[in-house]
A = this chain, B = another copy of it.
Amino acid sequence: MSVAGKTTLARRTLLVAGVLSWIVGGAAQAQTDPLPSWNDGATKKAIVDFVQATTTQGSSTFVPPAERIATFDQDGTLWVEKPIYTQVVYCLDRVPLVVKARPELANIEPFKTVMSGDRQAIASLSMQDLEKILAVTLTGMPVDTFKAEVAKWLETARDPRWQRPYTELTYLPMQELLKYLRANDFKTYIVTGGGQDFVRVYAERVYGIPPEQVVGTAGATKYAYGEDGKPFLTKEPKLLLNDDKAGKPEGINFMIGRRPVAAFGNSTGDREMLEYTKTAGGARLAMIVLHDDAAREYAYGPAQGLPDSRVGTFTQALYDEARKNAWAVISMKTDWKRIFAWDP
Q: Interface on A for B, CB 8 Å cutoff?
A: 3, 6, 66, 69, 143, 187, 196-197, 200, 204, 210-212, 214, 218, 220-223, 230-231, 233, 240-241, 246, 249-250, 253-258, 272, 275-276, 279
Contacts and interface: CB of A to CB of B under 8 A. Distances in A.
A212 to B, nearest CB: 5
Given A66-B210, A231-B272, A231-B276, 20 more contacts: A3-B3, A66-B204, A69-B212, A143-B253, A187-B212, A196-B254, A211-B256, A212-B212, A212-B256, A220-B250, A221-B250, A221-B253, A221-B254, A223-B249, A223-B250, A223-B276, A231-B249, A231-B275, A233-B249, A240-B240
A149 to B, nearest CB: 16
A101 to B, nearest CB: 24
Contacts of A276: 223, 231
Nearest to A218: B254
Contact of A257 (B200, B240, B258): B200
Contacts of A241: 240
Contacts of A240: 240-241, 254
Contacts of A222: 246, 250
B214 A257 contact: yes
A272 B275 CA distance: 39
Nearest to A223: B246
Nearest to A201: B257
Contacts of A143: 253
Nearest to A246: B223
A28 to B, nearest CB: 30
28 contacts: A3-B3, A66-B204, A66-B210, A69-B212, A143-B253, A196-B257, A200-B257, A211-B257, A212-B256, A212-B258, A214-B257, A218-B254, A220-B250, A221-B250, A221-B253, A221-B254, A222-B250, A223-B249, A223-B250, A223-B272, A223-B276, A230-B279, A231-B249, A231-B279, A233-B249, A233-B250, A240-B240, A240-B241
Contacts of A197: 257
Contacts of A214: 257
Contacts of A279: 230-231
Contacts of A220: 250
Closest 7 A/B residue pairs (Cβ):
A211-B257, A223-B246, A212-B256, A200-B257, A221-B250, A230-B279, A223-B249
A257 B221 contact: no
A246 B221 CA distance: 10
Contact of A212 (B211, B230, B255): B255
A75 to B, nearest CB: 19
B258 A211 contact: yes
Nearest to A248: B223
A4 to B, nearest CB: 11
Nearest to A210: B66
Nearest to A220: B250
Nearest to A252: B233
Contacts of A233: 249-250, 253
A69 B240 CA distance: 24
Nearest to A245: B223
Nearest to A69: B212
A200 to B, nearest CB: 5
